[in-house]
Amino acid sequence: MILGLDISTSITGATILDKDGNIIYNEAWGLKKHKDIFEKAYQVRQKLLDICGKFHIKEIHIEKTLQTFRSGYSSAKTLSILSSFNGMVSWLCYDIFVLKPEYIAASSARKLCGIRVPRGQKAKSVVIQYILDNVPSVTIEYTKHGNVKAECYDKADSYIIAQSGYIKCQREKNDKS
């Protein structure tokens, strides 16, 4: 089984795929109400322990944190906090599952899954449309105003990370045979 994580300090998405690539778990863990990254990490730890008790995870794939500044995106402080939190969760994964996580950039994961983001469009909305069109087992919910709920983006992104890990594994198996 493959665990895919889209790690964020506000909402962390988690998806588990079975050996055939089917979704057996897809959730968003809300972390906004917790004050600091240590409380947030503790909550993620509890979720990971729960997963460890229910599923036999063989691989963990995590979305790589942003490494560079882009105009209109996160500040240095935000990138630093996200990177620290990503490291904490990565360590928790290793400590709980005794597996070293593999990291993949969001753009690389989308490409592996066959998702192309046209120039001028936002990747998040393209991914949601891909999920709506191709992955009915990922539930997309809407606000009363008709907007996609924030946690659905994280669920969708964690699916893309898990699916890209699954695709890489299948390609490696085929290369060996």
Contact by Cβ (8 Å): 73, 66 = yes
Q: Say which residue, 26 or 79, is predicted with more confidence.
A: 26
The string of pLDDT tens digits covering residues 110-143 is 999 999 988 988 889 899 999 999 998 888 999 9
Residue 73, pLDDT above cutoff 70? no
Q: Is the dihedral of CA 5, 126, 107, 121 positive or negative?
A: negative
At 16 the pLDDT is: 97
Q: Return the higher-pLDDT residue of 37 and 66.
A: 37
Task: Detail the DSSP E strand segments found in 64-150.
Answer: 102-104
What's the pLDDT score for residue 163? 94
- Other Cβ atoms closer than 10 A to 102: 16
What is the percentage of the chain residues whose pLDDT exceeds 90? Answer: 64
**pTM for this prediction:** 0.88
CATH architecture assigned to 2-176? 2-Layer Sandwich (3.30)
| Res. 67: pLDDT tops 80 | no
The CA distance from 151 to 29, in Å, is 8
Q: Domain ranges in the chain?
A: 2-176
Rounded average pLDDT over 21-32:
94
